Structure formats: C-alpha cells, structure tokens
Structure 1
C-alpha cells in the first residue's frame, strides 16, 4: 500500500472527536504514513496535545479559540497555509465548523473527506428555522467535499437525504479498548450511570428522572460535567443524581467500568463513544430508541419511553440471567467497533481518493502536454 501524507483537521479537539482522531492518527502513523493534525486551541483542547496524541504526528495549532467570524477567517488562512506548505495527499475534516472552514480553505488542493460527527440539523432542541439554516450549510459543505465519511448508517442516511451529499461512505467509529477487550472488573455493588456533557443532546432532565427511580436498588450518578449555563447539572441535582464533574478519560473510564449499567438517553447522536466504552467494559447498555443507538446495541436494548427504560434497568439489576444475556449480545456485536478496524477502513478510503486524484492530475498533465 502506498504511503500517504494525511492531514486530519479538528476545530474542537475534545470529547468524541478527540476519541476518534487520536487513535486514527496513531494507527495511520504506525502504518508508515506521514500524519499531521491541525486543531483549534479551544477551552476543551487538552493543554498538552502532543502528550495525548503521542509521537510521530506533526501538530499545527490553529488560532481558533472561539466561534467568531474573525477567528474563523484567521483559522481558514492558517489552514490554507498549512495545506500549501505541508502538501497533503488527503485532508479529513472532522465536525461541522471544521467542514465549512475546511472546504473553503482547502478547495481543490487535495481530496477532502468530511465527517460531521453528528449533523447540526439533527438537534431537535433547536428552532426549526435554525435547523433549516444548518441543513443549507451542510449541503454547501457536502457539495464541495470529495466524500462525506459518515460514522454510522443513520448519519449516512442524513447525508444523502438532507445534506444531499453526492458521495457518501460509512466508517463506524472504533475505540482502542475494543481492539482486545479484557475481562469485566469485579463490582462492589449495583450502580447505574449516565455520562457525557449534560446538555440537550443527553436529555439530563429525563435521564435524571429515570435514574432517580432506581435508587432503591442501585447507586446512581452522572459521569461528566455541564455546559456554560449548568442547566443540565441543576436538573440532575433536582432529581437527586450526583455528577462527578469533568474527569480525565482514564478516570471517566474507571467510573464507567465500575458500573453495572449505562443509561444513554440521547435525543440525537451520530455514533456515541460512551456506548462503545460501555461495551468494552462489559457494562450493560440501555439506550433511547434512536437509529444511532440501535445500530450499536440492537432493538432489544433501546426504549422509547422512560417507563420502559426504568423497567429494563430494574431487570438488569435484579435478574442476573437477563443481565448475562444482554452482555452476551453486546460481546457478539462489539468486535466491529475496534480502533484497528476503523483505521484500516479510513486508510483504504484515503488511498483510493489519493490514487484517483493522482490519476486525474496525470491525465490533466498529459492533456496539457498533448496540446
């Protein structure tokens, strides 16, 4: 396989995007490719990106601290300069803001893969007019990207049906913990957790109501922090559900591994890494009935109503046979979400796009010589 120069770009190098871009970049570099990561220096960006990403990956910090027009323009100028100087064979843009700035900056300098990691127009909490605007912007990006690389079949369907992307491929997310899952840890007592940012997408008020109805049979808690307004944390507190606040990835993973079950009550999602982490730790997942969750855990572990989620979670806690059946189903499904598989799939796409671009360039050069 030919060795490529691959530029990964992320405006917000935090939470889910960090959990995808880091193992992807590491595995591409280990395979012999030249890999660079351009990222925005935002509040959620790790203070020492090199320590998180590891050696062998070239880093470009972009002046993208806030989502203001001035900083978008500054980031676009620097990203264009990075592309001109570093000359990548393929550029992969991660998330919506990166997509808009990236397609304008990169242009036709290199093939562009765009991955939304959750389309903005899917945010059911936003006003309809705002979601229509988001859809128009996503159509603009999809037309200018060489390929929309969705992380789930549901995101691919949104790319085709709403963003009207002419070219779509699916590469499911993967995490290192699923490359070789270990045995489940010993657990001292029953515990049900939810995790992530306590914002509208995670429905902390509804999740708090569900968790509050389990306190007679299990400890409950929220792993993670809130938004600037902390409205989600206040909703959890009103239901008597404690929150850990923001933790390092290692500490959050340890909190999750100590749980019996994860409640993932999301209103929308692309492909949640929290659910994949639960599969790796042998934690039973009970999730809201949205397509992204169904793709991972199947129809028998998603619920449409809060009452159903409470009943299923109580069954998990009180019926060892049911709990083991659900874990067996998860073990059968989790192999498809390894980081090694994810990196191989993206690598194959990069090689194909770079090869096609090189062939087009040779053909164009030949035509110029012929004339």
Structure 2
C-alpha cells in the first residue's frame, strides 16, 4: 500500500504528527510527502528519511491542486492523506475519492473553529466543509473533540476514526531537579507564534506569576512572523525560534512548568511531550481536551501552582507529581500501539490477531 501525505504547512505540530503516523503505520506501507515548508521551519534528516519521496506543494491553490494530481499519478498512491483544512480542500478538489485512490482527511483542527475569524468567515469554512464532505473516504480525527465535530459535517454520515496523537520527541534523561527557592521558575510553551497559540496569554500568565513575587523565566520554543516575535519578546518572553525536535525534548525536560495557551487545536502534541518529560502542565480548556478537571487548566490551576511555589520546594514537587499523574491517566490511550491500530482501521488494512 502507498500513502501520499499532503500538507500546506510543514511546520509546528503537523510534521511531528505525520512522522508519528509513518513510524506507527502497519508494516508494508510506503509513504510519500507532498508539502509546503515555510521559510525557517526545521526539517530533520530523520524526518525526511521517513518518506520514499518528498515533493514541494505549490504555494497557490491552483498549483497545489495540480501538484496533488501529478504526484498521485507518479506514486500511484492508494491513499491520499490530507493534513489540515486547506490541504483537505486541495485534495478533495484535485481528486475524487474512489476504491482506486481513497482520500483520508485529518483536519488537525477545523478552520471554522478559529476564534480569530469573523462569524461570516467561520460560516464560509463550514459551508466548504459541508460541500466537500461528499468526497472523503475517512476522516482520521486526531482527538475526540475533532471526531465529534466530524460526525456533524455534511448530509452524509462520514466514516470517522479517532487516531490518537502520540509523542514523537525522544525521551530525554536530562530532567531538571525540582525548583529550589534561590533560582527562577522556568516556564515553557511551544509552537508557532500566531493567534491560534495565543502567545500573549502565555506572557500574561508569566506576568501573573511574577506579580506574586516569584522570579520566573518564560521561554517560548518556536517561531513566527517578525512582528509577532518582537511583540512577545517585548513582553519579557525569551523566544528560541524553530529548533530541532530533539532539542525540544531536551528543553522541555529542563522546564519546571509547561503552559499551553492555544485558543483552538486539533490535539496538541506539545502537551503529550511535556507530560512524557514529567513536566507539570496547565492548559486552556478547549474542545480538544474534552472535559478537564479545573486543576489542570490555566484558569483553575495557576493559583495552585503559585501557592505551591511560594510554600517551598517540597510543596511544589508534590503539586507537580499530582499534576503529571493526572495527565498521565488522561493520556493513557495516546500510545504507539493505539495509534497503529487506529491507522490500520483508517487505511482499511486487515490486522492479524
């Protein structure tokens, strides 16, 4: 079986998710990549080695549609797996899903969920998804929230498979010791500096911690437009720019707290990576996470974080251990084995018991 992965933005969490899909696919699947890589985004050699071929997707919609048709013919792909709303639209305009070439679509958060768009823009995106819902074989949703949204798309009930995201960053042994009273609290976040991630919410959270008399060093791992980076740095946040995935794992392990401030998301790999690294994590309560205990959210958990830090190293360590344990329990289904089984279902690959 041959799978052609298509994405219009090979940066942030999408390439990490695709690499995990490749690594955890059932045996015998050949993978090709058709992607647009933004300037400055890192492409690891190991990630490139995952694919039999790598081809650039056109920057303009018409060029992208033509590229999908051309590369599909060249690779004789059995499945075109589109990643993101725009790639999903390009693939479904370029091709007709059929037994010969099936279209599998992972939105990684539907465009109509973007909180930075006007009501009319979001309605337009919903209308496009409704129209294109006739031309897809399977929606491989990356979270339970995305699966629920997919079930509501279109007049025909789509085939939906929940393919859980898994960690792609290697485990790092360089875990930082619990914060001592004499050194700053290292607070981290990760991703593209853009409205979706709401980086200024991260800056505000760091400022709230600092306002309580706690010395804090906020670090954002990722890049974005120059103006957005400058604004975030002006608020006191250190911005690393895009860094290799292995370095992400090392820096996460050295952090005391991870704050995920995204206003909308498919399912954030960064949270999986932080919890895997043993870093206590607080998030914005968005649909991707389902129903969360308030103590795991920014609104409900930030005060407990501050109080434990002020109470001393032992209190903070106890808070951190409890936080990580709760997250680990909630994320127990996000494993390579679960993802492999789900991909086999999405790709209709028979599994031997």
TM-score by length of 1: 0.81
The structure 2 residue matched to 1:76, chosen from 46, 55, 65, is 65
Pair 1:197 & 2:192 matched: yes
Q: 1:46 touches 1:52 (CA, 8 Å); kept in 2? A: no
Moved >4 Å (runs of 4+): 44-47, 162-165, 181-184
Deviations 1:100-135 (A, max 9, x none): 111122213411111100111111111111111111
Cross-structure match for 2:241: 245
Pair 1:141 & 2:136 matched: no
The structure 1 residue matched to 2:338, chosen from 337, 341, 360, is 341
- In the alignment, the residues of structure 2 paired with residue 264 and residue 34 of structure 1 have an alpha-carbon distance, to the nearest angstrom, of 34
State the shift of 1:51 in Å. 4.1
Cross-structure match for 2:255: 259
The structure 2 residue matched to 1:187, chosen from 177, 186, 191, is 177
- In the alignment, the residues of structure 1 paired with residue 206 and residue 344 of structure 2 have an alpha-carbon distance, to the nearest angstrom, of 41
Structure 2: where are the runs of 5+ without partners?
Answer: 180-184
Pair 1:61 & 2:55 matched: yes
- In the alignment, the residues of structure 2 paired with residue 123 and residue 89 of structure 1 have an alpha-carbon distance, to the nearest angstrom, of 32
Q: Describe the shift of the 1:280–1:9 C-alpha distance in structure 2 as closer, same or farther (beyond 3 A).
A: same
Secondary structure (helix, strand or coil) at the match of 2:214 reads: coil
Q: Describe the shift of the 1:209–1:163 C-alpha distance in structure 2 as closer, same or farther (beyond 3 A).
A: farther
Pair 1:173 & 2:162 matched: no
Q: Describe the shift of the 1:147–1:208 C-alpha distance in structure 2 as closer, same or farther (beyond 3 A).
A: same
Q: 2:172 touches 2:253 (CA, 8 Å); kept in 1? A: no
The within-5 A match list for 1:1-371 is: 4-28=1-25, 31-43=27-39, 46=42, 51-54=46-49, 57-64=51-58, 66=59, 71-107=60-96, 108=98, 109-161=100-152, 166-167=157-158, 168-177=160-169, 185-187=175-177, 189=179, 190-215=185-210, 216-228=213-225, 230-231=227-228, 233-234=230-231, 236-294=232-290, 298-303=293-298, 305=299, 308-317=300-309, 318=311, 319=315, 320-351=317-348
Which has the higher relative contact order, 1 or 2, with Cα contacts under 8 A spaced 6 or more apart? 2
- In the alignment, the residues of structure 2 paired with residue 221 and residue 244 of structure 1 have an alpha-carbon distance, to the nearest angstrom, of 11
Secondary structure (helix, strand or coil) at the match of 2:116 reads: coil
Q: 2:203 touches 2:218 (CA, 8 Å); kept in 1? A: no
- In the alignment, the residues of structure 2 paired with residue 278 and residue 60 of structure 1 have an alpha-carbon distance, to the nearest angstrom, of 29
State the shift of 1:45 in Å. 5.3
- In the alignment, the residues of structure 2 paired with residue 197 and residue 40 of structure 1 have an alpha-carbon distance, to the nearest angstrom, of 15
TM-score by length of 2: 0.85
Equivalent residues, number: 335
Structure 1: where are the runs of 5+ without partners?
Answer: 354-371
- In the alignment, the residues of structure 1 paired with residue 187 and residue 8 of structure 2 have an alpha-carbon distance, to the nearest angstrom, of 33
Q: Describe the shift of the 1:289–1:165 C-alpha distance in structure 2 as closer, same or farther (beyond 3 A).
A: farther
Q: In angstroms, what is the RMSD of aligned CA positions?
A: 2.7
Cross-structure match for 2:182: none
